[in-house]
Amino acid sequence: ISFSTRPDGEFGEWTLINGISKFAPLPSSMPHGDGVPNLLKYAFNMDATGPDVRSLRSGEGAGLPVFSMDASSGQPVFKAEYVRRPTSGLIYTPKFSTNLSSYSAMTGSTTVTALDADWELVKVAMPINPAVTPKLFGRVEVTLP
């Protein structure tokens, strides 16, 4: 996660609307002690007014990104799913790691589905060879413009 030092633009408005601007307005702040910074709550459509650590579930438009392995089509793929704000200017970069020390940008096919005027569902499917990479870890890096 890359953080700006001050809230402005849409993120700044969001901190005002959610009452965060008074006590913990920075993107890196975690005012509810749940371990999820303000920027990620903003980026993934989560509740800013209290603790929220939920993961994205099918059919919902809010939550932290989810990662999975899928071999149902024959070719195993490492999948990332997350929601994003298409007009926010935020930069979302799904990444993978084999060791939790270094991450690389995911490659493969990307599908984007509009949920409404403010949100999109993004699915990235990266082909893998389980014999070469038996375990993978994922994250979505979110950067303010």
Is the pLDDT at 61 greater than 50, yes or no?
Answer: yes
19 vs 125: CA distance, rounded Å: 37
Cβ atoms of 40 and 47 closer than 8 Å: no
Q: Based on the number of CB atoms within 10 Å of its own CB, is 26 exposed (0-12), middle (13-18) or buried (19 or more)?
A: middle
What is the value of pTM for the model shown? 0.88
pLDDT at 5: 44
Q: What is the pLDDT of residues 132-145, one digit of tens each?
A: 988 899 999 999 87
Q: Which two tokens stand for residue 34?
A: 């749940």
Task: Mention every residue, 6+ apart, whose C-beta is less than 8 A from residue 4.
Answer: 11, 27, 144
Q: Which two tokens stand for residue 9?
A: 């633009």
Tell me the longest C-alpha to C-alpha distance in the chain.
52
Residue 1: how many other CB atoms lie within 10 Å: 14
Q: Which two tokens stand for residue 141?
A: 């890096």
* 21 — pLDDT class (breaks 50, 70, 90): low
Q: What percent of the chain has pLDDT over 90?
A: 63
Q: Which two tokens stand for residue 21?
A: 């601007």
pLDDT at 2: 42
Separate counts of helices (H) and strands (E) for the chain? 2, 7
Per DSSP (E only), the strands in 72-118 are: 77-84, 91-97, 104-105, 109-114
Backbone angles phi, psi at 5, to 5 degrees: -90, -10
pLDDT mean over 60-89: 93
Average pLDDT, whole number, for the chain?
89
pLDDT at 32: 87
pLDDT at 8: 58
* 11 — pLDDT class (breaks 50, 70, 90): confident
Q: 3-state DSSP call for residue 120?
A: strand
